[in-house]
């Protein structure tokens, strides 16, 4: 029989994380939204120290220096709660997210040990992933123009990446790293794409722009230029063999998305839960009760709307839990990861929008956070593959079509 109870190992973590979300994130949520690009050092330093003691989400490191083990269900629960607190601040958590996901998906054991063990070491480290380029958008990484040329025992990178989540924090604010997807053979298309680790302080790597955004303002979104940027040969993730063209680099990018999309879904649902709980609290203050268990015909329109939102939220969360459970079990989750991302991206936009509608002027005012949650919501439908791209992935997997047959 399926058991939907939260495991005790996760329950123990929830109390601490919920306290952080309530007492450290919510009180400064509006401030960091207004002061875009100010680094939330108090939060970063606190979480760095807290996570070093927490099993299953990146720490603790053992004496051998091996890469910390990740329990994906545990991390998803933590992300949902932190995003309930503030999703922009969550994206500043030094826990190993997008760049680390690429290392885990494509790196060798030695590379995982070398790069991931740094994340919760002595100082906070932010990691990022640089994939998007201005000319392609959702067609990345197959149309990558950033190049990596082998020169002796070094790779030389040239090109520009845009919309790099946490790029400034990774390369400037902390001693972090960015995983850059570049091509070793532009004529080979996706077969030439490979991931490379570029560490903070590397000459030729420069953050050139910080985006001013609709939402997730506490998280920087950067443009990065690589100009004759030299990195060690073994900073190419995975097998360095380049004599034959393969699609392993591209498949590594897709495997990275399989790992990161469920976490985007979890973050989206934290925002959605925050909005729905705020709405219900305000209704309770006005003595408006949701009468569960009645026939649909006997409910008010508002009651029906709220029950529908609760159904959307819970169903999306179950999809997300399934996708991270599959990762924990070592089961391929491409379809489920995309399904969770699609559903959560839809749900968070619908719930935050409906919350504003039902609250009226109270929802639209900056006196409270629902309008911020509405702005934070939309990105979850866009990054890590838009809703449209993920729908194509699911359709191809279910119908058995190739990308050429269904696009």
**Spatial contact of 190 and 184, defined as CB atoms under 8 Å apart:** no
H/E stretch holding 155 reads: strand 154-165
User: DSSP states of 236-263 as a string?
Assistant: B-S----SS--SHHHHHHHHHHHHHHHH
Q: What are phi and psi of 323, to 5 degrees?
A: -65, -35
Q: Are 77 and 10 in contact (CB under 8 A)?
A: yes
Alpha-carbon span 334 to 212, nearest angstrom: 32
Give kind and range of the element (H or E) at residue 150: strand 147-151
131, 88 Cβ separation under 8 angstroms: no
In degrees rounded to 5, what are phi and psi of residue 196? Answer: -130, 140
| Alpha-carbon distances, residue 319 vs 130, 161, 254, 326 (angstroms) | 27, 32, 19, 11
Task: Give the separation between CA 341 and CA 344, rounded to whole angstroms.
Answer: 5
User: What's the rounded Cα separation, in Å, for the pair 263 and 229?
Assistant: 31
Please answer whether residues 218 and 33 qualify as being in contact, where contact means their C-beta atoms are separated by less than 8 angstroms: yes
The DSSP secondary structure of 180-236, one letter per residue, reads EEEES-GGGGGGGEEEEEEETT-TTEEEEEE---SS-TTS-EEEEEEEEEEEEGGGB
Residue from 264, 272, 263, 308 nearest 290 by CA: 308
**Sign, CA torsion 297/298/300/303:** negative
Q: Rounded to the nearest 5°, which phi and psi values hold at 150?
A: -80, 125
Check 310, 367, 384, 405 and give the catalytic one.
384
Known catalytic residue at 305: no
Residues listed for the chain: 407
For 148, the token pair is 């990596």
CA–CA distance, 175 with 224 (Å, rounded to integer): 16
Q: Which residues are catalytic?
A: 384
């Amino acid at each position: 029989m399926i058991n939907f109870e939260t495991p005790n190992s996760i329950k123990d973590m929830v109390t601490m994380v919920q306290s952080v979300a309530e007492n450290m994130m919510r009180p400064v949520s509006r401030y960091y939204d207004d002061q875009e690009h100010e680094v939330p050092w108090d939060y970063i330093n606190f979480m760095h120290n807290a996570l070093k003691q927490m099993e299953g989400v990146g720490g603790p490191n053992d004496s051998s220096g091996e890469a910390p083990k990740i329990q994906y269900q545990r991390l998803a629960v933590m992300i949902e709660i932190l995003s309930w607190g503030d999703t922009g601040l969550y994206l500043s958590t030094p826990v190993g997210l997008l760049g680390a996901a690429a290392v885990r998906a494509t790196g060798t054991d030695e590379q995982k040990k070398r790069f991931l063990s740094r994340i919760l070491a002595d100082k906070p480290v932010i990691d990022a992933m640089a994939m998007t380029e201005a000319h392609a958008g959702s067609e990345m990484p197959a149309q990558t123009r950033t190049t990596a040329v082998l020169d002796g025992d070094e790779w030389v990178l040239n090109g520009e990446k845009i919309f790099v989540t946490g790029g400034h924090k990774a390369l400037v604010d902390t001693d972090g790293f960015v995983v850059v997807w570049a091509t070793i053979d532009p004529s080979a298309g996706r077969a030439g794409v490979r991931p490379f680790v570029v560490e903070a302080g590397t000459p030729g790597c420069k953050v050139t722009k910080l985006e001013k955004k609709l939402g997730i303002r506490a998280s920087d979104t950067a443009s990065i230029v690589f100009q004759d940027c030299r990195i060690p040969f073994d900073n190419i993730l995975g097998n360095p063999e380049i004599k034959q063209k393969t699609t392993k680099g591209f498949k590594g990018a897709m495997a990275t998305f399989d790992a990161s999309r469920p976490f985007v879904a979890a973050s989206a649902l934290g925002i959605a839960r925050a909005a729905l709980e705020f709405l219900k609290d305000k209704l309770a203050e006005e003595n408006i009760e949701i009468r569960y268990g009645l026939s649909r015909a006997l409910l008010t329109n508002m009651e029906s709307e709220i029950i529908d939102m609760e159904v959307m939220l819970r169903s999306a969360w179950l999809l997300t839990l399934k996708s991270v459970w599959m990762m924990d079990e070592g089961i391929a989750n491409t379809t489920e990861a995309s399904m969770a991302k699609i559903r959560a991206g839809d749900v968070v936009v619908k719930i935050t929008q409906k919350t504003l509608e039902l609250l009226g002027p109270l929802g639209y005012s900056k006196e409270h956070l629902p309008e911020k949650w509405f702005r934070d919501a939309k990105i979850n439908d866009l990054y890590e593959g838009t809703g449209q791209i993920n729908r194509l992935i699911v359709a191809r997997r279910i119908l058995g079509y190739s990308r050429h047959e269904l696009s």
